Structure 1
Amino acid sequence: MNVLSTIIYFAWFLSEILLHRILRGKDADDKKKQDQGSLAFIWIVIIVFINISVLVSAKTSYLILPGPDMNRIGLSVILLGMVLRFVAIAQLGRLFTVNVTIRKDHHIKKDGLYSILRHPSYAGSLLSFLGFGLSQNNWLGLAIVFIPVFVAFVYRMKIEEKVLSEKFGEEYTDYMKHTSRIIPWIY
């Protein structure tokens, strides 16, 4: 692993840890909903499958592209994902938490990135995991890290959408009809 990879991986992981620590919904006025263990599930999946992916990528040679270009592409995708995630968090503002939580005076965000995607923060995070897999330049390593993390995030999105549908009813179900989950106009 080169120095640039180390710096980007470290910045990415550190940003996620800080988000987890700082942006937990702790306000006394929040109406907290059970996330059915989805946050813990996501973290377990991430830790387990990143490590397996790194080991498999180091021990096998299923190159995506020969040479260092795929590492650079992957690192760029990680950074793009981080930017998307931070922009989504900034646009959601005080309504963003890492917990599935309905805040006091909560409303459905329908402008900015949220006019196209229901979960742009998750889209950014998943883009970073895709970049991580690509940066290893190993098809098997990419599949091992991305597929389980994607499945864990879909599980989380379903829980979150259920909570929001229960809270906002037809307003949220109508919003769902006019937006994609994480890939514009596709999914």
Structure 2
Amino acid sequence: MIGLFATGPSSIIFYIVYSLWWIGELIGALLIPALRRRGTTQVRRDRGSGALIVSSIFVAIFVAFGFGYAGIGQLPDWVYYPGILLMLLGIAIRQYAIAVLGRFFSLTVRVAEDHKVVDKGPYRFVRHPSYTGALVTFIGLGLAVQSWPAVLTLLIVFAVAYGYRMRVEERTLTKELGQDYLSYMKRTKRLIPYLI
């Protein structure tokens, strides 16, 4: 049996939220940061993490949709609703974090010549709040397609791809920003305040 995300009015809501996610990524994470960075000198040290994230996200979403449409590991209908809410929350967290980071945000690991530690907004609590937003969105997506294998797949992909990205990013920022970033790392967690 196919879940709520693929039938009736619930499917319209699902695809509106799903579209909002991608519109946010295209405008908030790709277009606006590219325009803000024009003309600035930057050190690039991505080490393939951007390509890993993009490719693994597309594969994970494809697999998650496959599980959902096939009804594999189907979860009860009620989980669709918190899934949609978590997707919206994750989108909001990510876009807010991107806005606060401003011109220092990039889809690839880069350090601007006047780069500094940003520790306001969500960055007061965690070092990678835009990734926290992505994590919440992934969990929401897995729940919205009502499949526990989809949730598991999305979490594994997140752990591998974003885990690698965070290590690359932190190494680069430590090298380029020195003690300021090391001090920031000591007082914040990576993804979830007070936990991890």
Partner of 2:121: 112
1:26: how far off?
Answer: 4.6
Contact 1:133 1:142 in 2 (8 A): yes
Name whichever structure is richer in helix by fraction. Answer: 2
1:113-146 Cα deviation digits (max 9, x unpaired): 1111001111111111111011111111111122
User: 1:102 aligns to what SS in structure 2?
Assistant: strand
2:79 counterpart of 1:75: no
Q: Which range moved further: 54-63 or 138-147?
A: 54-63
1:101 to 104, 110, 116: 110
CA distance in 2, matches of 1:60, 1:85: 29
1:56: how far off?
Answer: 2.1
RMSD: 1.6
Structure 2 counterpart of 1:80, one-letter code: L
Task: Extract unaligned runs of 5+ from structure 2.
Answer: 1-5
Partner of 2:133: 124
Structure 1 counterpart of 2:51, one-letter code: A
Contact 2:68 2:74 in 1 (8 A): no
1:23 to 33, 39, 60: 33
Contact 1:133 1:146 in 2 (8 A): no
Task: Extract unaligned runs of 5+ from structure 1.
Answer: none
Identity fraction in percent: 33
Aligned length: 185
Partner of 1:160: 169
1:46: how far off?
Answer: 0.6
TM-score of the two chains, using structure 2 as the length reference: 0.88
Contact 2:91 2:133 in 1 (8 A): yes
Partner of 2:3: none
Q: Where does 1:47-86 land on structure 2 (aligned, <5 Å)?
A: 47-64=58-75, 66-67=76-77, 69-86=78-95
Structure 2 counterpart of 1:100, one-letter code: V
User: 2:59 aligns to what SS in structure 1?
Assistant: helix
TM-score of the two chains, using structure 1 as the length reference: 0.91
